[in-house]
Amino acid sequence: MKWATVVGARPQFIKAASLSRAIARRNERALRNRQRASEKRIEEVLIHTGQHYDYLMDRVFFEELEIPEPDYHLGVGSASHGRQTARMLEGLEEVLEKERPDLVIVYGDTNSTLAGALAAAKLHLPVVHVEAGLRSYNRNMPEEINRVLTDHLSTFLFCPTETSVRNLKKEGIQDGGARVVTKVGDVMYDSILHYSRRADAKATVLRDLGFEPEASGKGSDSTSCDYYLATLHRAENTDDRKRLLSILSALDEMAKRVPVILPLHPRTEKRIEAYGLTFKTRRLTVIQPVSYLNMLKLEKHARAILTDSGGVQKEAFWLGVPCLTLREETEWVETVQRRGNLLVGADKERILEGVQSIEKRRFLKSRTSMEKGNASARIVETLLSARLNKP
Ligand code: UD1
Ligand code: UDP
């Protein structure tokens, strides 16, 4: 049995790591039960499009999360949406034609996701979409186009939430017939569970930055250092000078009272340079992107998180850290409904009001997640039990 996995961007390395681990665990079990002929080994063929390529956006995750080396690296790199997706398609088609896998797994909503789904569907290979059904209902986001198209091309749609199952139903995509649509939970939660302790033990970022957790007597997991954590990379925020300036001014303002740590995505760094923007406050600690373990550590100990990242919103919620989302809408509506996340957009005053509401503790700070931490295992089992019609 051969399963191809397509990855290319930072969050996909983290998501794919969970599933690769579940595949490896299942293969070990199959080896122990090898007298049962039905328990065939799953061969995973990992294809890296090369969408992300800086060491801190790419290799560091393979090393730290022990992700198997990619079998193919397409080296596509950065380009406009059309050009980047087209280059991926060309490379992926060649690899998939050569490998003829039983199915092709794609994650999330990046250009690598869409290219993987389209290349596979055109070759009549079943597409498996992990994180299916998410919608912001904002077609100006490149990610929304990628999600919608990928879902419509997919045979297996693994949804993280009830809302995502409902979103698909509204578009006529539901379980039954040729399709499997099922809520399995979130593979990123599996990842937090797996790496949380390791982050506590190994991540050095707080020490390196001089923000050691204060001892609270309850163990390092429950301490809170005095800083805000921010991440910023959405095109709608970075590619609009006014919005970017407004967000950075808010962070600058906040940093006058409480330090702000900002691990900067290369896209944002380039835009800040191109627009000639500067940071005013020294207490705004702008750093390079960090590894996953360092990021978990930063998230766990933050007073609050400000972000436009999808993954970081969820992680804040699961870790019980209040989150302000620097967007007008979110796909992760449950985090807002359960009062762990507040949408504040890019307006400086609204962001600062949001910070105030955190300080006044109008926020729920509990882990009300319904996650079980077995999403990856459920995906593997569902795929194994499906009847695949190989063309
Ligand atoms: C992409 C995804 C986005 C996801 C994000 C995760 C799309 C359309 N967007 O956004 O959904 O949330 O990844 O981080 O697929 N760059 C570097 N080094 C790198 C990678 C990028 O310098 O290793 C710079 C380049 O100037 C590039 C820009 O960042 O043009 C944007 O990169 P790109 O992969 O196109 O989109 P992201 O903003 O990273
Ligand atoms: N992340 C990381 N280092 C960073 C910023 C983010 O390891 O400097 C992790 C974060 O913990 C989450 C994932 O990357 O697991 C989110 O990716 P990103 O914000 O790039 O993309 P999105 O989730 O918005 O698609």
323 φψ region: left (φ > 0), alpha (ψ -120 to 50), beta (else): beta
Point out the ligand 2 atom lying closest to the alpha carbon of residue 188.
Answer: 15
pLDDT above 60 (res 222): no
Ligand 1 centroid distance, CA of 345 (Å): 21
Q: What are phi and psi of 250, to 5 degrees?
A: -65, -45
The residue among 383, 301, 288, 303 whose CA lies nearest residue 44 is 383
- The answer to whether 68 and 42 have CB atoms below 8 angstroms apart is no
**Would the pLDDT of 308 be above 60?**
yes
Mean pLDDT score of the chain, rounded to an integer?
Answer: 92
Pair type for strands 228-231 and 260-263: parallel
Which pLDDT band holds residue 211 (cuts at 50, 70, 90)?
confident
**Nearest one of 332, 335, 331, 337 to 318, comparing CA atoms:** 335
Q: Which of 18, 267, 295 to mutate to test the pocket of ligand 2 (most atoms within 8 A of CB)?
A: 295
Nearest residue by C-alpha to atom 15 in ligand 2: 311
% of the chain exceeding 90 in pLDDT: 84
Count of residues for the chain?
Answer: 391
Q: What angle do CA 191, 206, 108 make, to 5 degrees?
A: 30
* Amino acid 368: pLDDT: 58
Taking CA atoms, 308 is separated from 7, 10, 327, in Å, by 21, 15, 6
Question: Which atom of ligand 2 is the closest one to the Cα of 296?
Answer: 11
Q: What pLDDT was estimated at residue 224?
A: 52
- Which residue owns the Cα nearest ligand 1 atom 20? 52
What pLDDT does 369 receive? 67
Lowest mean pLDDT among 167-181, 300-314, 350-364: 350-364
pLDDT at position 219 is: 44
Mean predicted confidence (pLDDT) in 295-314: 97
Q: Are 320 and 366 in contact (CB under 8 A)?
A: yes
pLDDT tens string 128-151? 999 999 999 999 999 999 999 999
Which sign, positive or negative, has the C-alpha torsion 341, 343, 348, 354?
A: negative
pLDDT of 61-74, one tens digit each?
A: 999 999 999 999 99
Instruction: Report the distance separating Cα 141 and Cα 234, nearest Å.
Output: 9
When pLDDT is cut at 50, 70 and 90, the band that residue 30 belongs to is confident
DSSP E strands, the chain = 2-7, 43-48, 72-73, 103-107, 127-130, 156-159, 180-183, 228-231, 260-263, 284-287, 304-307, 323-325, 341-343
Ligand 2: centre distance to CA 265 (Å): 9
Active centre residues (catalytic):
233
Q: Which residues pair with 107 in a beta bridge?
A: 130
Section 289-309 average pLDDT: 97
- Entry pTM: 0.95
pLDDT confidence bin for 35, thresholds 50/70/90: low
Please give the distance, rounded to the nearest whole angstrom, from the Cα atom of residue 126 to the centre of ligand 2.
28
Return the amino acid letter for 387.
R
For ligand 2, atom 9, name the residue with the nearest CA: 292
Structure tokens, 342: 């507040």
The pLDDT-based confidence of 213 (bands split at 50, 70, 90) is low
Q: Is 311 touching ligand 2 by the criterion CB < 6 Å?
A: yes
- Residue with structure tokens 């766990």? 300
CA of 303 to the centre of ligand 1 (A): 27
pLDDT per residue as tens digits for the range 331-383: 999 999 988 999 999 999 999 999 999 887 666 555 556 789 999 999 999 99
Half-sphere exposure of 45 (CA within 13 A, CB side): 18
Q: According to the model, what pLDDT value does residue 390 have?
A: 54
- What is the 234 CA–ligand 1 centroid distance (Å)? 9
Nearest alpha carbon, ligand 1 atom 37: 267
Q: Minimum-distance ligand to the CA of 11?
A: 2
For β-strands 43-48 and 2-7, DSSP reports them as parallel
